Amino acid sequence: MFGAATFHAAMAEVVVGTMVLATICAVGCTIATIFPNIAGGRLSSERVMVTMDKASIAGALLGLVFMPIAALSGSFAADNVVNNALLYNKFVYTGLAFGFWASFVIGRVRLGPGVWQHRSLSVLQGATAAMAMLMTTMASSIGGKLVRGESLFDIMPVWLPSDSATVLNPVFSAVLLLVGIASLVVVFRLGPKAERISLD
């Protein structure tokens, strides 16, 4: 049998691995959209674009499925106790990563593969994937700090804060949660309908 920490490490590796693939492919699609002639036009060729598009959505979907499992197993590995700022920030960054990845996947599914043909949408998708990866690596980097006391990101001169946490009052967090849910309802039900973009 194995402990929750071991299971969490395995799940986290799946999440990070698949999302690295998704990010590389998403950023590749964005670059190909902005600079169609880069690499002699090979990057923006239909074959490469279709491959990168499918790899990015598949990687993001797989990571998104495993992310709650990783978060829950990590929570159990910590005995469901948050007793320091690092652990608290790990939760917060995981939530942010989930938000960014979910937005990336929903955007790609709603707008279709034609999203990469639309310059501004392509930039938005690439930036979303990059931010999502940043949040994911922050969460995993904190895991390294908690378990091994060090992280690859220790060598970075500037990095997002992790040693100190902004702990919101739970009531205020709950209000924010309701605001978030209401915002999503507004976006989906009352806002402009994003339509699937037809491929040229």
Partner 1 sequence: MRSRTTVLIIIALLFATSASVANPAGEGDADRDYTCGGSCHGDPALSSPSDGTVTVSVDPLSFSGTATAVHVTASGMSLSGNRLLGVFLLSSTSGNDDHPEDHGWNILQDPNGGTHNYVEVVVPPSGSVTLTWVMLAPAQSGIQTLFTEIHHGSNPNSNNWAYSALTRGYTVDVQPVPENLPGFAFDWTPETRVTGDDSPTVVGTRNTTSVAVQWMLEGEWVPHDAEVTGEGDEWHAMLPATIGETRIQYQVTTSNGDFSIVQPWLTVATEPAAFDGEIWGARVQALAFGLLVMAFLLSLQARLSPWDGRPELDHTEEVEAAETPPEPPGLEPADDYWSRLVPSEENPGWLWDPVEEEWVADPNNPPEGGE
Binding footprint of partner 1 on the chain (CB under 8 A): 75, 80-85, 87-88, 91-100, 102-103, 106-107, 110-111, 115, 118, 120-121, 124, 128, 147-150, 165, 167-170, 173-174, 176-177, 179-181, 183-184, 186-188, 191-195, 197
Residue 48 vs 144, nearer CB to partner 1: 144
Please choose, from the candidates 126, 56, 52, 140, the residue with its C-alpha nearest in 3D space to the C-alpha of residue 97: 140
Distance, CA of 67 to CA of 21 (rounded, Å)? 15
Residue 39 vs 174, nearer CB to partner 1: 174
Residue 118 vs 160, nearer CB to partner 1: 118
Chain centroid to CA 200: 29
Least spacing, CB of residue 14 vs partner 1, in Å: 15
Least spacing, CB of residue 3 vs partner 1, in Å: 13
Residue 47 vs 81, nearer CB to partner 1: 81
Least spacing, CB of residue 195 vs partner 1, in Å: 6
Least spacing, CB of residue 33 vs partner 1, in Å: 13
